[in-house]
């Protein structure tokens, strides 16, 4: 694609436009062994994709414009969620279940986020932070959760996220 830019033809969007964020859910594969999932999603901010900062390719040979290039590697961004929670999750966070499951905090494993159209994104990652909010009379206690994508499996081999389409 050499030469000056040309106009890109307009076209209408295709696919399914999600009209409501309800019901976005997630699951930690590491919890499958315990048979427990002590979180009730209130708000979920799924992972995104970040291409990174641009590479400045400007040289003394440029005459009018600074020039830039895109990077090659991408970053799966951090997922956050606000959840209602069962206090019985605390041992799972700290210690896991000896001989069955490692602690949920800082243990890499598969994570799936399910979107309202029933599609999902699946990736390797771990819970970085679980931070309970204030407990007050007349309000449901909520905890903030942060999940970091690692993009590597238990052998440290690079693994890209996968997407499961809903067929809509």
Structure tokens at 30: 């590491």
Please tell me the distance from the alpha carbon of residue 76 to that of residue 60, in angstroms, as a whole number.
35
Domain spanning 25-53+69-164, CATH architecture: Roll (2.30)
Question: For the whole model, what pTM was predicted?
Answer: 0.89
**Per-residue pLDDT for the chain (168 aa), expressed as one digit of tens each?**
789 999 999 999 988 788 999 999 999 998 876 677 889 999 999 999 999 999 999 999 999 999 999 999 999 999 999 999 999 889 889 898 888 888 999 999 999 999 999 999 999 999 999 999 999 999 999 999 999 999 999 999 999 999 999 866
Domain boundaries, the chain: 25-53+69-164
**CB-based contacts of 91: which residues, under 8 Å, 6+ apart?**
97
């Amino acid at each position: 694609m050499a030469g000056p830019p040309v106009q890109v033809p307009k076209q209408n969007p295709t696919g399914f436009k999600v009209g409501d964020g309800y019901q976005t859910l997630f699951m930690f594969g590491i919890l499958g062994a315990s048979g427990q999932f002590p979180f009730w999603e209130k708000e979920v901010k799924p992972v995104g994709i970040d291409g990174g900062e641009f590479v400045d390719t400007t040289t003394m040979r440029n005459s009018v414009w600074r020039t830039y290039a895109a990077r090659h590697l991408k970053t799966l961004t951090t997922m956050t969620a606000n959840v209602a929670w069962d206090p019985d999750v605390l041992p799972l966070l700290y210690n896991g279940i000896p001989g069955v499951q490692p602690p949920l905090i800082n243990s890499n494993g598969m994570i799936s986020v399910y979107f309202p159209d029933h599609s999902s994104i699946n990736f390797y990652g771990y819970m970085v932070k679980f931070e309970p909010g204030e407990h007050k009379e007349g309000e449901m206690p909520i905890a903030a959760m942060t999940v970091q994508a690692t993009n590597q499996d238990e052998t440290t081999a690079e693994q890209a996220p996968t997407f499961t389409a809903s067929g809509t």
